[in-house]
Copies of this chain bind each other. A is one copy, B any other.
Amino acid sequence: MAKYSAVLDDVFVALADPTRRGVVRRLGEGPATVGELARAYPMALPSFMKHVRTLESAGLIRTAKTGRVRTCVLDRERLAVVEDWLAEQRHVWEQRTDRLEQFIGEEDS
Residues of A within 8 A of B (CB): 2, 5, 8-9, 12-13, 15-18, 21, 24-25, 28-30, 76, 79, 82-83, 85-86, 88-89, 92-93, 95-96
Contacts and interface: CB of A to CB of B under 8 A. Distances in A.
B79 A89 contact: yes
Copies of this chain present in the complex amount to 2
Contact of A30 (B5, B86, B89, B96): B96
Nearest to A29: B96
Contacts of A86: 79, 82-83, 86
Q: Which secondary structure dominates chain A's binding surface?
A: helix
Given A28-B93, A29-B95, A92-B28, A85 B21 contact: yes
Contacts of A24: 89
A13 to B, nearest CB: 4
A83 B92 CA distance: 16
